[in-house]
Amino acid sequence: MLSCKVPVSWLSVVILATAVAIADANANANANSYANSRAHCQSSTAEPLEGCAAGTILVSPTHKDAQFQTIQSAVLSLDETTPATILVLSGTYIEQINVTRSGPLTLLGEVAEGGGGGGGGGKNSVTVQFSAANVNVSYTDNAFTSVLTVAPTLEASLTGSGPTGYPVPAGTPFGNKDFRVYNVDFRNVFAAASVGPSLAVSVSYANAGFYHAGFYSWQDTVYIGKLGNAYFYDNTIAGQTDFFYGFGTAFIQNSSIAMRGCGGGVTAWKGTNTTTFSNRYGVYIADSTLAQENSTLVASLAGQCFLGRPWNSQHRSVFMKTYMDASINSAGYKAWAVSNDPAVSRVVPNVTIMAEYESYGPGWNSTGRIAGNVTTVYTKEDQVNKYASPLAVFMSETGNQPYVSWIDEQFL
């Protein structure tokens, strides 16, 4: 009888590949199980907690079984570390939400029809609304205007001013390591115009994932502060002036970026060099759309909107495979002088990164990008790979990667 000896090295590869395939299958099964369970909990029924995990807290100003009438009161009822889920029934909640606890926390917005998946911002039945803007220094810091804040302390959330922002004290603890929101819209309704910083969400020293959610304001809509990580999937994010800004890391995927006119730039990242490790701090927008919220304004605003401007020289933002309407300026990004001195630029070669990869639509203009001499256009996949996915950019507070355990694996 003939014998066949299989090389040990080849056999090891087969065993490893099989183990990886089994692990991936198990992970997908767990993700699907969680998604189904979450969708069942979010579905509108006469008994809203039916199908929810044991211990889920119900919030509603009117339902007879609600434990709390406001989201913030439900958050404040929790201890520091125990994982918790809050189901919010349909309605408009006029309040500010502050999450300081370190324990995992999930906010589920009730979904009136078809379960808890999809829809994105603007189609949700749960809205958290507040009115505040830092106009003429009416507040000591922009942080006080935010509808939703996720940070361990007030000082951790302060934005400060200028290129370096607020000097968060050394030794500040990291806050929530796994905060998730599904199907909730957050609206700062101070004014229907860009009149001053008016945040919809602020995340600092914390990890936050937002799924099928919405964030609406006019100026500084999204702030991701120092050591903040935020992942946005199937969101609507609306603003007019610098409506993505901060020092941390944000990844926006499969989302609608709704411009409410033109002001400053879409991104105004500050970047930071306050750590000792090489970092990937920045804002990354992938597989999304960048268009005027009111499409009738596109013709009158043709070529007037910029992709971003550098708040300091360590600005890093990259648009990847994103549709852009005709309101985008042919140059893409624009430079920004220090203290309005045109002789001192904030754009430093090989430090400031304002880039695109495979942009498309009427707002993409290869000739204009080259002539503007500000935007970096990546033409090869290996140039953009280091920014192309959550796995590539998110880091722990000490710089370790990969760091995505806090992201719903259904969307990775």
Beta strands across the sheet bearing 57-59: 57-59, 84-88, 105-109, 179-182, 207-211, 229-233, 249-253, 282-286, 316-320, 353-357, 376-378
208/403 Cα distance (integer angstroms): 12
Q: How far apart are CA 162 and CA 366, in angstroms?
A: 32
User: What domains does the chain contain, in order, with CATH numbers?
Assistant: 56-165+172-392 (2.160.20.10)
Torsion of CA 147, 156, 405, 114, to 10 degrees: 0
Local confidence pLDDT in tens for the 412 residues of the chain:
444 444 444 444 444 454 545 445 444 555 566 687 898 999 988 999 999 999 999 999 999 999 999 999 999 999 999 999 999 999 999 999 999 999 999 999 999 765 445 566 678 999 999 999 999 999 999 999 999 999 999 999 999 988 889 999 999 999 999 999 999 999 999 999 999 999 999 999 999 999 999 999 999 999 999 999 999 999 999 999 999 999 999 999 999 999 999 999 999 998 776 567 889 999 999 999 999 999 999 999 999 999 999 998 999 999 999 999 999 999 999 998 777 677 778 898 889 999 999 999 999 999 999 999 999 999 999 999 999 999 999 999 999 999 999 999 999 9
CA distance 327 to 298: 6
pTM: 0.91
